[in-house]
Chain A
Amino acid sequence: MKLTLRIWRQKGPDVAGDLETHELPDVSPDMSFLEMLDVLNEQLQNEGKEPVAFDHDCREGICGMCSLVIDGVPHGPMKATTTCQLHMRTFHDGDTITIEPFRAKAFPVIKDLCIDRGAFDRISASGGFVSVNTGGAPDANAVPIGKEDADAAMDAAACIGCGACVAACPNASAMLYVSAKVGHLAHLPQGQPERGRRARSMVETMDAEGFGNCRNYYECEAVCPKEISHHFIGGMNRDFLKANLCGGE
């Protein structure tokens, strides 16, 4: 396949970036999207140019490190698929592909396509946990959990924290991510004691990090590689309202 890439280049956080055009004469349809970028970088290095910086780690769709907005859609056109699991057979010979970083004030560009998603870590650190006194490890099955709750908790826990939801949201809102973390623990007995405090504190940190507000577009859900449902946002709104009206925990 012959491809034209329009790819975002930016030297650092505080300098302006721009789209740069590159031709790739011979891309195999069996390559993953990131392998295609590896080929581009090899080509750039052979020409004595600076390779394109992009994030990746596991390359098997589980770590949440890869990103990229591909032709306007985070993680590209394939549903429920991370960029690392996207293959070039999804595209056509002669295509022009525009590649940009996830864009949000809370996700500053470090270089080219690499962004700083530390804001997500700070949100999780502000409540995405349960407090447990140490002691002997409890038996794994000592606390029975109904199937519906177990399934819902697992669905929420599937979030890999990649940030595609923020990138897709016209308002750069982080509500899908935050609600997945809140919803995961809200469905488990271990999450109950701190349930209200967790929702309030994580929403507060989310606001402080400069994310936008949810307007219920559900673009987040559409691009989420783990198909986290917007119903977790509704659930978090419910927890948040209860915690604020009833006060206390």
Chain B
Amino acid sequence: MNWLARLLGSSVGRKMLVALTGLALVGFVIAHMLGNLQVFLGPDALNSYAAKLKSLGALLWVMRGGLLAVFVVHVGLALKLAAENKAARPAAYARPGRVQSTLGARSMVLTGLMVLLFVLYHLAHFTFGWTHPEHATATEAVQTLTGPVNRHDVYYMVVMGFRQPLVSGLYIAAMALLALHMSHGVQSVFQSLGLNNRKYEDPIRKLAIGLAWVIFLGNSSMPVAVMAGLVDLPGA
């Protein structure tokens, strides 16, 4: 653990840990989106996927714990770096300038904090079912080899949630901010970890921006499809 202490003790090392945890979060965001896109395959696909995740039991809690730890390290170190950056320029320029930095880069703290707020809301909405308990507690009966069982009707919860324009709008706006965060973040990871070079820089930039668009469009497609009636309750 000596190397970890050395990294944490240095600005460059802390940034590397922000990059590594950021990369892990990007991986989660991709997997999360792919799983949820099963909403387009209908209630059975989405609900059995959700049931499969739930059936992981202890493993699910290990994964949740790991994700939480990664998130806390990412946010904690990013905010520590941000505080150090503020302290490094106590007097602001009377006339600030900008030459080539991008909007995504300059808004990392803001987009990050907005994503954090969104994640809290998202958990309250879908994971804990606090904001709309009437949608979150729905179940559906399914036949199994051992007889009928009731499982959580995630599909119903998602459709009822996204039928509300305000909720859908919030999700889409949050995805735009997440995409902006990732459009700089993913390029930045390579530079922070010393993996960038002249040859790969342009492909890396395209990858980051492309990935940000995929995440934005992929995730937004779900509330949009529900509001457009393309994804609807069975029999409706």
**Chain A residues in the interface with B (C-beta under 8 A):** 6, 8, 19, 69, 71-73, 98, 100, 103-106, 168, 170-173, 175, 200, 203-204, 206-207, 210-219, 221-223, 230-231, 233-241, 244-245, 247
Q: Are B6 and A104 in contact (CB under 8 A)?
A: no
Complexed CA–CA distance, A198 and B88 (Å): 23
User: Could you say which of A6, A103, A230 contacts B89, with CB atoms under 8 Å apart?
Assistant: A103
Q: Are B194 and A241 in contact (CB under 8 A)?
A: yes
Q: Are A241 and B95 in contact (CB under 8 A)?
A: no
Q: Are A219 and B99 in contact (CB under 8 A)?
A: yes
Q: Are B105 and A215 in contact (CB under 8 A)?
A: yes
Do A241 and B16 form a contact, CB below 8 Å, given A98-B95, A170-B106, A234-B191?
A: yes
Interface 9-mer from B7-15, B156-164, B228-236: B7-15
User: Could you say which of A100, A173, A234 contacts B196, with CB atoms under 8 Å apart?
Assistant: A234
Q: Are A212 and B101 in contact (CB under 8 A)?
A: no
Across-interface contacts of A239 in B (CB, < 8 A): 194
The contact string, 1 if C-beta is below 8 Å from chain A, for chain B 191-212, is 1111111100100000000000
Q: Are A73 and B194 in contact (CB under 8 A)?
A: no
Chain A residue nearest to B99 (CB atoms) is A222
Rounded to whole Å, the gap between the CB of A202 and the closest CB of chain B is 10
Q: Are A240 and B97 in contact (CB under 8 A)?
A: no
Q: Are B191 and A237 in contact (CB under 8 A)?
A: yes
Complexed CA–CA distance, A170 and B187 (Å): 18
Across-interface contacts of A175 in B (CB, < 8 A): 12
B177 at the interface (CB under 8 A from A): no
Complexed CA–CA distance, A238 and B12 (Å): 10
- B91-126: which have CB < 8 Å to A? 91-102, 105-106, 108
Seed contacts A104-B88, A214-B12, A223-B99; 20 additional CB < 8 Å A-B pairs:
A73-B99, A98-B95, A100-B94, A103-B89, A105-B88, A170-B85, A172-B85, A175-B12, A211-B88, A212-B85, A213-B81, A216-B188, A219-B100, A221-B100, A231-B198, A235-B194, A237-B16, A238-B193, A240-B10, A245-B3
Q: Are A244 and B188 in contact (CB under 8 A)?
A: no
B87 at the interface (CB under 8 A from A): yes
Q: Are A247 and B3 in contact (CB under 8 A)?
A: yes
Do A214 and B101 form a contact, CB below 8 Å, given A172-B89, A173-B88?
A: no
Across-interface contacts of A211 in B (CB, < 8 A): 88
Complexed CA–CA distance, A211 and B95 (Å): 21
Q: Are B188 and A172 in contact (CB under 8 A)?
A: no
B148 at the interface (CB under 8 A from A): no
Do A172 and B98 form a contact, CB below 8 Å, given A216-B191, A237-B191, A244-B7?
A: no
Most interface-central of A6, A98, A106, A216 (chain B CB within 10 A): A216
B57 at the interface (CB under 8 A from A): no
Q: Are B95 and A71 in contact (CB under 8 A)?
A: yes
Complexed CA–CA distance, A210 and B90 (Å): 11
Rounded to whole Å, the gap between the CB of B112 and the closest CB of chain A is 11
Complexed CA–CA distance, A233 and B100 (Å): 17
Complexed CA–CA distance, A71 and B98 (Å): 10
Complexed CA–CA distance, A207 and B84 (Å): 10
Provide a sorted-by-A list of 5 A–B residue pairs whose CB atoms are within 8 angstroms. A69-B97, A72-B98, A233-B191, A234-B196, A236-B194
B2 at the interface (CB under 8 A from A): yes
Do A213 and B15 form a contact, CB below 8 Å, given A71-B95, A234-B191, A244-B6?
A: yes
Chain B residue nearest to A244 (CB atoms) is B6
Rounded to whole Å, the gap between the CB of A211 and the closest CB of chain B is 6
Across-interface contacts of B191 in A (CB, < 8 A): 216, 230, 233-234, 237
Across-interface contacts of A72 in B (CB, < 8 A): 93, 95-98
Q: Are A217 and B85 in contact (CB under 8 A)?
A: no
Complexed CA–CA distance, A245 and B108 (Å): 28
Do A210 and B88 form a contact, CB below 8 Å, given A73-B97, A235-B194, A241-B16?
A: yes
Chain A residue nearest to B194 (CB atoms) is A238
Rounded to whole Å, the gap between the CB of B190 and the closest CB of chain A is 8
Across-interface contacts of A238 in B (CB, < 8 A): 193-195
Complexed CA–CA distance, A200 and B108 (Å): 27
Rounded to whole Å, the gap between the CB of B181 and the closest CB of chain A is 12
Rounded to whole Å, the gap between the CB of A231 and the closest CB of chain B is 6
Across-interface contacts of A230 in B (CB, < 8 A): 191
Rounded to whole Å, the gap between the CB of B51 and the closest CB of chain A is 42
